[in-house]
Amino acid sequence: MKLENKVAIIAGGTKGIGLGIALEFVREGATVVVGGTTDKNGDAAVREIEAAGGDGLFVNCDVSNLGDLDRIIERTVEHFGRLDIYVANAGINDAAKTHYLYITPEQYDRIMDVNLKGMFFGGQKAAQQMIAQGDGGVIINMSSVNAYLALDSQFVYTVSKGGIQQLTKVQAVALAPYNIKVNAMAPGPIETDLMRRVGSDKQLMDTILSRTPIGRIGTPQECGRLAVFLASDDSDFIFGQSIYIDGGRGFQAYPTPGYSTVTEEDYERLLEL
């Protein structure tokens, strides 16, 4: 198993992509700590991890709170003795879709505090623990295809994801001397709660998939398998990169009429996610 005897924290790991990563880590032998802000989701995630044969722990953690970031690392080390992998997956979006001209400082701070500040200091605190252990480690940041695409309806979210890609490069340079490998994942449309909200608009989903060459949305399990690769020795010469897992969404310039459309079956499945 590729992650045998490794201990991983997944901030934002109680559902969606984060839980998909947690379950794939467990299948590869890792012990997993999942962070999130809802106890009900955290308890359910631990049950899934245990059902998959793994050892899991939930810690209530708001990544915009630096004390919570300290606590999740402290609890991890208390329970499992070390930290080898830190996945910074926690993120939020602005459902209001406010135009740039009307975004308030409060809206900006709310998203940036979670998406960028939380990732900045979560990675810092994880790295400090890894350095203290003396064995190196892995940090994986969660960016997005929207770090590359200019999506003005989700302005602050998009800016935060672009910042994550630069953060990843600088972290990789700063932490390479300590044998800490840093990379980012940049998903496109994936089966998550956010995509469920998008999927409630069939016309919008048709538009998204008409610009996705593979013609479907991805799964949390597929993201999990990429995370396993980035966390394992298989990727040891990959540093500071943002790996797109988007079905080609990031580079198709124009729609493909009649090729990528949402079937009624797909639409119903999205509503049930």
List helix spans (H) across the chain.
16-27, 39-51, 66-80, 105-112, 118-133, 155-175, 193-199, 202-210, 220-231, 264-272
Q: DSSP character for 95?
A: T
Cα distance between residue 31 and residue 101, in whole Å:
46
Provide φ and ψ at 173, rounded to 5°: -65, -45
**The token pair that represents 209 in the structure block:** 């998939």
In this structure, the number of other CB atoms found within 10 A of the CB of residue 67 comes to 8
Paired with 56 in beta bridges are 32
Reference 183, options 73, 88, 115, 66; nearest CA is 88
Strands ordered across the beta sheet of 242-245: 56-60, 31-36, 7-11, 85-88, 137-142, 180-187, 242-245
Cα distance between residue 266 and residue 57, in whole Å:
34
| Inter-CA distances, 69 with 39, 87, 206, Å | 16, 12, 39
**The token pair that represents 228 in the structure block:** 């396993």
Cα distance between residue 51 and residue 85, in whole Å:
22
| Inter-CA distances, 101 with 97, 152, 155, Å | 12, 11, 10
The reply to whether 157 belongs to the active site is yes
Are the C-beta atoms of 268 and 197 separated by less than 8 Å? Answer: no
Active-site position among 86, 100, 102, 157: 157
Active-site positions? 157
